Structure 1
Amino acid sequence: MEWADTFIFLLVVIISCYLLISSRKKQLQKGRLPPGPTPLPLIGNFLQIKPAETLKSLLKLREKYGPVFTVYFGTRPVLVLCGHQAVKEALIDKAEEFSGRITMPSMVPTFQGYGMGFSNGARWKELRRFSLTVLRSFGMGKKSIEERIQEEAQFLVEEFRKTKENPFDPTFVFSRAFSNIICSIVFGKRFDYEDKEFQALMVMVHKFFWEMSTSWAQFYDIYSNYLNYIPGIYSKIYDCMDIKLFIAKRIKKNQETLDPNFPRDYIDCFLIQMEKEKDNPGSEFIMENLVANILNLIFGGTETGSSTFRYGFLLLMKYPEVQEKVHEEIDRVIGPNRVPNIEDRRQMPYTDAVIHEVQRCSDIIPMNVAHMVTCDTEFRGYHIPKGMIVLPLLSSVLHDPTMFKFPNAFNPENFLDEYGCFKMNDAFVPFSSGKRICLGESLARMELFLFFTTIMQKFQLKSLVPPENIDLTFQESGFANIPPFYQLSVIPR
Structure 2
Amino acid sequence: MVEFWECLIALLVGLFILQYLNHLWASRNYPPGPFQLPLIGGIWCIGSKISHDTLIKLAKRYGNIYTVWLGQKPVVVLSGYQAVKEGMIDRPDDFGGRPVTAFVKAALDKIAAGVIFSNGNFWKQHRRFALVTLRKMGMGRQSMENQIEEEAQHLVKTFASTKGQPFEPFLPITNAVCNVISGMAFGIRYSVEDEEFQRRVDTIDAVSKYGTSVTALLYETLPWLMNYVPGPHHKIFDFAKKEISFTMGEIEKHKEERDSESQDIVDYYLLQMEKNKSDPRSTYNRDNLAHFILDLFIAGTETSATSLHWALLLMMAYPDIQDKVYKEMEEVLGSSESICCQDQKKLPYTNAVIHEVLRAKYVFFFGLPRECVKDVKLRGFHIPKGTFIIPDLHSVLHDPERWETPEEFNPHHFLDKEGNFKSREEFLPFGIGARVCLGEQMAKKELFLFFTHLLRTFKFQLPEGVKELNKEPLLGFMLHPHPYRVCAVPRCSSSETN
TM > 0.5: yes
Equivalence for 2:330: 331
Whether the aligned pair in 1 keeps the contact of 2:64 and 2:83 (CA below 8 Å) is: yes
Whether the aligned pair in 1 keeps the contact of 2:363 and 2:479 (CA below 8 Å) is: yes
C-alpha distance in structure 1 between counterparts of 2:66 and 2:344, whole Å = 40
Q: Per-residue displacement from partner, 1:349-402 (whole Å, max 9, x unpaired)?
A: 111111011111221112111111111122222221100001111110010111
C-alpha distance in structure 2 between counterparts of 1:390 and 1:78, whole Å = 6
Whether the aligned pair in 1 keeps the contact of 2:203 and 2:236 (CA below 8 Å) is: no
Report the CA distance shift for 1:82/1:301 in structure 2 as closer, same or farther (over 3 A): same
Whether the aligned pair in 2 keeps the contact of 1:169 and 1:488 (CA below 8 Å) is: yes
Equivalence for 1:479: 477
Residue aligned with 1:101, SS: coil
Give the CA deviation at 1:21. Answer: 2.6
Give the CA deviation at 1:9. Answer: 11
Whether the aligned pair in 2 keeps the contact of 1:34 and 1:70 (CA below 8 Å) is: yes
Q: Per-residue displacement from partner, 1:132-160 (whole Å, max 9, x unpaired)?
A: 11111101111111111111111110001
C-alpha distance in structure 1 between counterparts of 2:193 and 2:335, whole Å = 28
Q: Per-residue displacement from partner, 1:27-57 (whole Å, max 9, x unpaired)?
A: 32xxx32222221221211332235215432
1:238 corresponds, among 228, 236, 247, to 236
Equivalence for 1:25: 25
Give the CA deviation at 1:15. Answer: 5.3
**Residue 254, structure 1, aligned to residue 254, structure 2:** yes
Whether the aligned pair in 2 keeps the contact of 1:204 and 1:242 (CA below 8 Å) is: no
What is the number of residues matched between the two proteins?
Answer: 482
Whether the aligned pair in 1 keeps the contact of 2:210 and 2:476 (CA below 8 Å) is: no
Q: Per-residue displacement from partner, 1:213-244 (whole Å, max 9, x unpaired)?
A: 444334433x2346336455696351222222
1:109-188 aligned at under 5 Å gives the runs 109-111=106-108, 112-113=110-111, 114-188=113-187
C-alpha distance in structure 2 between counterparts of 1:415 and 1:12, whole Å = 61
Residue aligned with 1:80, SS: strand
* 35-44 or 271-280, which deviates more: 271-280
**Residue 356, structure 1, aligned to residue 387, structure 2:** no
Q: Per-residue displacement from partner, 1:176-233 (whole Å, max 9, x unpaired)?
A: 1111112211112333444433343333323332333444334433x23463364556
Report the CA distance shift for 1:467/1:107 in structure 2 as closer, same or farther (over 3 A): farther
Report the CA distance shift for 1:276/1:148 in structure 2 as closer, same or farther (over 3 A): same
**Residue 47, structure 1, aligned to residue 44, structure 2:** yes
C-alpha distance in structure 2 between counterparts of 1:65 and 1:402, whole Å = 18
Residue aligned with 2:339, SS: coil
Report the CA distance shift for 1:356/1:71 in structure 2 as closer, same or farther (over 3 A): same
Q: Per-residue displacement from partner, 1:321-341 (whole Å, max 9, x unpaired)?
A: 111111111111123652111
Taking only aligned residues, the RMSD between alpha carbons, in angstroms, comes to 2.4
* 359-368 or 207-216, which deviates more: 207-216
C-alpha distance in structure 2 between counterparts of 1:279 and 1:162, whole Å = 54
C-alpha distance in structure 1 between counterparts of 2:442 and 2:7, whole Å = 57
Report the CA distance shift for 1:35/1:164 in structure 2 as closer, same or farther (over 3 A): same
1:64 corresponds, among 37, 61, 66, to 61
Instruction: Give the partner amino acid of 2:33.
Output: G
* 280-289 or 12-21, which deviates more: 12-21
Whether the aligned pair in 2 keeps the contact of 1:301 and 1:440 (CA below 8 Å) is: yes
C-alpha distance in structure 2 between counterparts of 1:324 and 1:467, whole Å = 20
Residue aligned with 1:428, SS: coil
Equivalence for 1:91: 88
Equivalence for 1:79: 76
Equivalence for 2:275: 276
C-alpha distance in structure 1 between counterparts of 2:16 and 2:283, whole Å = 37
Instruction: Give the partner amino acid of 1:103.
Output: V
Report the CA distance shift for 1:472/1:219 in structure 2 as closer, same or farther (over 3 A): farther
C-alpha distance in structure 1 between counterparts of 2:12 and 2:289, whole Å = 39
Report the CA distance shift for 1:18/1:352 in structure 2 as closer, same or farther (over 3 A): farther
Q: Per-residue displacement from partner, 1:259-278 (whole Å, max 9, x unpaired)?
A: 4x422211111112223333
Instruction: Give the partner amino acid of 2:350.
Output: T
Whether the aligned pair in 1 keeps the contact of 2:218 and 2:226 (CA below 8 Å) is: no
Residue aligned with 1:275, SS: helix
Whether the aligned pair in 2 keeps the contact of 1:375 and 1:386 (CA below 8 Å) is: yes
Residue aligned with 2:473, SS: coil
Report the CA distance shift for 1:319/1:47 in structure 2 as closer, same or farther (over 3 A): same
Equivalence for 1:3: none
Residue aligned with 1:148, SS: helix
C-alpha distance in structure 2 between counterparts of 1:406 and 1:164, whole Å = 37
1:363-382 aligned at under 5 Å gives the runs 363-382=362-381
Give the CA deviation at 1:458. Answer: 0.2
Give the CA deviation at 1:424. Answer: 1.3
C-alpha distance in structure 2 between counterparts of 1:480 and 1:304, whole Å = 8
Residue aligned with 1:53, SS: coil
1:304-453 aligned at under 5 Å gives the runs 304-335=303-334, 337-453=336-452
C-alpha distance in structure 2 between counterparts of 1:60 and 1:77, whole Å = 19
Whether the aligned pair in 2 keeps the contact of 1:16 and 1:42 (CA below 8 Å) is: no
1:491 corresponds, among 484, 489, 492, to 489
Report the CA distance shift for 1:328/1:212 in structure 2 as closer, same or farther (over 3 A): same
Report the CA distance shift for 1:343/1:26 in structure 2 as closer, same or farther (over 3 A): same
Whether the aligned pair in 2 keeps the contact of 1:376 and 1:386 (CA below 8 Å) is: yes
Whether the aligned pair in 2 keeps the contact of 1:461 and 1:489 (CA below 8 Å) is: yes
Whether the aligned pair in 1 keeps the contact of 2:131 and 2:438 (CA below 8 Å) is: yes
| % identical equivalent positions | 37
Residue aligned with 1:262, SS: coil
C-alpha distance in structure 2 between counterparts of 1:116 and 1:70, whole Å = 27
Equivalence for 2:3: none
Instruction: Give the partner amino acid of 2:190.
Output: F
Give the CA deviation at 1:281. Answer: 4.3
Report the CA distance shift for 1:9/1:139 in structure 2 as closer, same or farther (over 3 A): farther
Instruction: Give the partner amino acid of 2:453.
Output: T
Residue aligned with 1:314, SS: helix
Whether the aligned pair in 2 keeps the contact of 1:318 and 1:467 (CA below 8 Å) is: no
Report the CA distance shift for 1:54/1:486 in structure 2 as closer, same or farther (over 3 A): closer
Report the CA distance shift for 1:15/1:128 in structure 2 as closer, same or farther (over 3 A): farther
2:34 corresponds, among 34, 37, 42, to 37
Residue aligned with 1:100, SS: coil
Equivalence for 2:455: 456
C-alpha distance in structure 2 between counterparts of 1:265 and 1:244, whole Å = 18
Residue aligned with 2:222, SS: helix
TM-score (norm 1): 0.92
